[in-house]
Every structure is written in C-alpha cells, then in structure tokens.
Structure 1
Amino acid sequence: MYPDDSPTVRPRALTVSELNRQARHLLESSFMQAWVEGELSGLSRPSSGHWYFSLKDQRAQVRCAMFRGFNQRLRQTPKEGDQVRIRGKVSLYEARGDYQIIVEHLEPAGLGALQQAFDALKARLYAEGLFAAERKKPLPVTPRHIGVVTSPTGAAIHDILTVLGRRCPGIPVTLYSTAVQGQAATAGIVDAINRAIRHNQADVLIIGRGGGSLEDLWCFNEEAVARAIAACPIPTVSAVGHEVDVTIADFVADLRAPTPSAAAEKISPDQSTWISRLDETRHRLVHAMTRQLRQQQTGVNQLTSRLRDPRRQLQEKAQRLDDMELRFRQAISQRLDSERTRSDHLQQRLLTHRPDRRIAEHSQRVESVRERLQSSLGRQLETRSQRLESAARTLNAVSPLATLGRGYAIIASDNQTVVRDPATLAPGDRISARLARGTLKATVDSVHPGADGTEVDN
C-alpha cells in the first residue's frame, strides 16, 4: 500500500478495456461527424475488403479505417500520396487503444471548391426559406399516378419500377426522361419537371438518380434545379445517390429518400399489407355479420315463442270474462245475504229496543222502586219514631226540667251563669231562679252557710 492511500476511500481502478471504452464513447459523442483533409499514406487492403490507412500533414497524422460498405461506392481507388478529403466519425479502436477515424466518404482534395459552392448555395436558399418545413407539401397516402424524373438508362428507374411492381403494380408510372450527369443535366432536369407539371397526371414526383461521385451528382446541387423543385406544385421526393450522399435537392424537396428504391418504398402502399388488411377486415365483417345474424335469429325465435294464436287468446279472454262474471255474481249474492242477515239482526234489535216497550219496562221498574221506597221509608219512620220516643223518655228522665217539676229551682247570676256555690255571690248581686213554671228575680241580701257549709238568705 502506498503511504497516501486510505483503505476506506481507495478508488476502484478501471480496467484497460473500461478506460478505452469510455474514451471511445467520449470521442464519438464529441465528434459526431468530421471532415479532414490530408495526404493518404500507408494504404492497406486486406481480403476482408476493408481499407486501413493514415492521413497526415507536415506535423501530424491520424489512423483511418474505411469499411467495405463505404469504399465500394468510390469510382476509383485512391493511391499512396493522394491529397484527399474524408468525412467520418472520430472513434477509438479499443483492442489497441488507437485513436482513429471511421471513414464514410472519401474524395480528392481538389473538390474543396465544389464544397464551398455547395455550402454557399445552401446557406442562401436556407435564408430565403426554401428549406422551411411549413412550405413542404404532404405526400398522398395512396398515389394514383407516379412521375419519375431520371435517366431512362440508369439504375434508378429500374430500382423504382422493381419496388413498385413488388409493392403495388397497379399504380401507373410516367418517366420524364432527362440526363442526370454532365453539362446538359441541369437544364434537362428543369425541363423534365416542367413537363410533369404540364402533363398534370402525377400526384407525386420522384426526382433522382443512382450513386456517383460529387461531380456526378453536382447537377442536383445547381440553383436552377433547386428552384424548379421548390416551385413544383406536385409533391416531390428527392432520391439522389446513396444514403450518405446529400444534395441541395434533398433540402428543397418535400421529402428526402436515401435511395431511389427507398423513395419507391415511401410513396407506394404495400399490396400485401392491403391484402392482409382486406382479409382481416373481411374476416371481422363476416364474424360481425354472423354474430349479428345469430342475435337476430335468437330475437326472432324469442318473438316466435311469444307469438300466440289470436283465437286462443280470445278464448282465454272469454273464459276469464265468464269466470269474473261468476265470481261477481257470487260476490253480489254473498253481499246480499250478508246485508239481509244484518238487516234482520238490526230489525230484531230495533224491536227489542222499541220505545213503548222500554217505557213500559221503565214504568214497571219505577213503580217497583217507588213501592220499595215507600215501604222502606215507612219502616225507617217507624224505627226513627221509636228511637225518638226512647230518646225523649231518657232525656226527660235526666232533664233539669223534670227536677224543677219536683220543686227545685236553678239559680243563675246576673250574667246567666248557674250558681253552684253561694260563695261566688255577694250581697246586692242580682240573681234569677228558674222554676218549673216561670222565673224569679231577686237580690242577695246576705250569704250564710247551709247544710253543706253555706247558707243563703234572700
């Protein structure tokens, strides 16, 4: 362990493969595409068909690899010491850690003037708005007639017709022939576009040719061709060269296709897809119709089962009417019997509660009660008379009047208080004596004790 290493924070070391992989990703993401010019050196062409070489100038060099799919497009093989311009992706060969360029296009360095002219025209047309998306016309989903502006002897028309014959052979195709290379090509392409416009049959127009060098394709970078495509009222498809080839026509056209074959693919419907969709639609339609027919048949069967003979219904209605009539008559008869019985019962109750009978009954009851009352009153009067006589005899026996009748008198003071003790009187007091017959008034002269110790003098 190194002195400044810490066992707890020691970073994980990258493997060489991981380092090279990260470096490759960094280079490829930083340089998506690059143009490089230099002297070709050390060209190697193994049996695989790939090319390996270096590109150098006076002070540096860089390794390059151009795979077979790209180098086969070149019209001629470069040689040692040629000044070339390459277009490619900056990458890294991980197995050796070599920094390199994966070349996609190679051309002589003398073409730099053409590239400058291309860039200048592109910038000017872009500023005019000829590349704007809002001015591009939509292509028909299913074209009725296809026009092709290309050479009648080139590979492009053959590829287009082959693709259309495979995908949708029923669409008519009109070739507006023209030269697509050389001095007369520019005027020929413009004239072919104008002929298609005057013909007024095609609803989509393919403009293009097969692959070639930058010089071969240069007529599609001419301003006259670009403006003719931009002014064409028919939707246009640019199909110039191979996928890596880019022309001014690609930017001006309503759609860019990488190859003529691809253009035919993009604008034509696939009849096999149509047939498949038609079969699927037919199957779904048959299935839906079968299901609908089954549902309708089920409904008809249900309605048929519910449908009944009108005569049978009339018979049932008549029978129900007769039954209701019998039940009504029976109910009326029962109601009449019930009301008759109730009437008899009420009449019987009425007879039972007749006023004359009730009066006679109550009269008898009143007479009986009166006789009972008189008898009871007589007995009570006799009993009470006897009790009164007995009470009178008893009262007379204890009455002071009876005592007075035997010669006694009741002495009372002037204030009507009975005198029981002579000591309560004084000489000169007024007294009264109650006799059996009458009352005597007297004045007390003196008080003397009597037999019981008190003596009274008048």
Structure 2
Amino acid sequence: MYAPDDPTTPSRHILTPSTLNRLVRDLLEDALPMVWIEGELSNVARPASGHLYFTLKDSGAQVRCAMFRPKSGYLKFRPVDGMQVLVRARVGLYEPRGEFQLVAEHMEPAGEGALQREFEQLKARLDAEGLFDLGRKRTLPAFARRIGVITSATGAAVRDVLSVMSRRWPLAEVDVLPVPVQGREAPPAIVAMLRKASASGRYDVLLLTRGGGSLEDLWAFNDEQVARAIHASAVPVVSAVGHEVDFSIADFVADLRAPTPSAAAELLVPDAQAIARHLRQLQQRLGALHQRRLQSLIQRTDHLLARLQAQRPQARLQRDRERLLHLRHRLAALMRDQSQRRHARLDRQHARLLACHPRLRLPLLQRRLQEQERRLRSSIEHRLEREQLHLKQLARAMHAVSPLATLERGYSILFDAEGRVLRSALGVAAGTSLRARLADGELPLRVCED
C-alpha cells in the first residue's frame, strides 16, 4: 500500500517482499559462515531431479535442509528417516516461501565423525603428555626367545603371526595371550593382559595385534587405559592393528608400529635362512683364521728352534722340543675338538632348518597337480564329445535343406550352356543344348520342336 508522506515525519522506504527476502538472505550468509550441525533426519525426499530434501531436528527444534546435485550424488550412504548425521552446510533463505533453510555441502553418519573427533582429541592430549615421544621408545631384541601375542585366539591375525614366525624362526617360543579385540569388554581385558604379561618377566617382547575393520571395530585400541598400559609396560610392545592404512592410539604409544600382523611377525623374529648363511660365512672365516694362526705358530716355533740350536744348550733344547711337540699336539687336538663341536652345532641347526623346508610340501602339491590335470583332461574329452554331437546335428540339419537332398527325391536342375540355372521355359529356343543335374550325375539334353 502507498501512503503519502507525512510532512511532520522523516521519509519512509517501502520494500517489496522480494527485496526484503534478499536483504535477509544476505544478512544470514554474511553473519553465519559454513557450519557443522548434528541431528536426526526426517521427511527425507529425493525427487527425480536428484536433489535431496530433508529436515534436521533434535529434541527442541528442527530446520529444513536441501542438498543439491551433484553434492547429493557423492554420498557414500543412503540417508533415511531416523538416522543421526553430521552435516556441513551454508545458512540461507528460500526466497519463494521466505523460509530459513540450510544448504548442505557434505553429510556423514554422526557416529563415525564423533569417534574421529574423539580420536583426535585423545591423540593430542596423550601427545602433549609425552606418551608418543621417540626418545622413550625401546629397541626390540635381535633374538627374542619368548614372545607374547595379545590378540583374539580365533582371529585371522593370530594365524598369520604364528605361520610367519614358525617359518622364519622356529626356535622362538610364542605364547598366544587371548583377549577380546572389540566391544566394551575388550579394553579392560587388554589392559589386564598387558599388565599381567609385563609383570610375569617371561617375555622379551609383546605383540598387540588384530585384523582390519571399521573405526568402531578398532576402537578398543584407541582407549586411553590401553594406551597408558602400553606406556607402562616393562617390556617392549609392538602394535599391529588393522591394515596398513589404519592407525590407532596404540600404534603411536607402542615402541614399534607394524602395518599388518604378518609384517609385525617378520620384524620380531630373524630369518633362519639368513642366519644359516651368516653362520656358514662365520665358519669359513673361523677356518681361515685358525689356519693363519696355526701357520703363524709354526713359523714362530721354527724361529725359536733355530735360536735354541744356535745356542746349543742340548738338555734344555731337548726339553723344550718335547714340550713344543706336546703343545702342538694339544693345540691340534683342541682345534679339532673345537671344529667338531662347531660342525656338530651347524649340523643340528641345518637339520632343524631342513625340517621346515618347503620341499616337504612338494609331494602333496604334485598329487594335487596330477588330480587337476586328470580333471582337466576329462573335462576336455566331455567337451569334445558334446561338440562332435552338435556338429553331427548341424550336418543333418544342413543336409535336410540342401538342394542335393531334393534331387534324391526325383527332381533335377537344368543349366544352359553357360552354366546358368533355367528358371523358366520362356525364351529357350529349339536346338538349345542343356545339362540336367540329377542326384547321381548329369545328362546332356537338347530342346526339340514341339
């Protein structure tokens, strides 16, 4: 409505609803930047346009929201009513109705986002306390005699660890210390087992491990008490939780983080084959050292003998000669005994390594290969029989529609002198030479006058 200005009042600015809506929209967008909001989905709708419309609510309020293409197409889950979500959105105004709304740019399930934030907060707090300092991390023993593996007794991780350790270093004693690795009961059980294993004094190193999973599945290894139990352990702790891309609080606190359970097993025990090669190299070096030392002793003995002979103290020379021979025999016997003991020890180590050799599996694999070859040949023979039967059926079908089959029923085909098939009697003059094709051969013909 228009009202004339009252001369006694200041001038008035009259706005249209569209102008007012634009002003409100500009004020909202300028005053409120991109925000994160968590709530429950309701009235979820996805029309043919591909846009996503929904209401985000909590116990005290609700707000309309929209997520336009292509943002709605990037979602990795299907939003449904009742789902708790975390939304990043711009605050705006839907001008046609003058309604306040949120324009969503990103959406994720609220549980995972909350866990990730809790993970980052705990990580920052423990890092500030010094639990992640590299200076406090201990070096793992080169040859661990006893290893405690804290994990689920029925998971795939413990099988991988035991398989790798038995193959690389059968001399190590490996104890599986079973604990639940997910759920509410997992953190206190892991803490209790860490303290018990550390206090026992039995183990040279402890391995805390489990297979891969979601953030919720791995959450027991992001527990603060578990982290402090690892930090307080009297023996080194290796953490191998999940896959290579998974990181947990336990990984940061442990003395060493391995990307997978199998990789942790390889880090904890040496390679028996490499040790055997090293022992052979040491044996060769020891033999060469003994040979050089014996040669040096012989040369020194010869030098002393020459000095004694030059002085000619016959009695003393005789005693020294006897003593020298005795020492030489003792030295040779000692070297033989020492060499035999080292050879015996190497033979025992070699026998133990052979017991783990893959050659023992070759007969089983050969039998399996023969069985596969027999089955393949049988399959090929069956396939050939089916193809031959199919080929015969095709031949019978082709013969049934062949012109030659028609000839066998008493029909013939006429050809002119140029070999073309005659389809009509019109235009064939008297005296024209023709050929008749029958089932069992050809006959020459000549057209006579009627």
TM-score, normalised with respect to structure 2: 0.45
TM-score, normalised with respect to structure 1: 0.44
Question: Which entry has the higher C-alpha Rg, 1 or 2?
Answer: 1
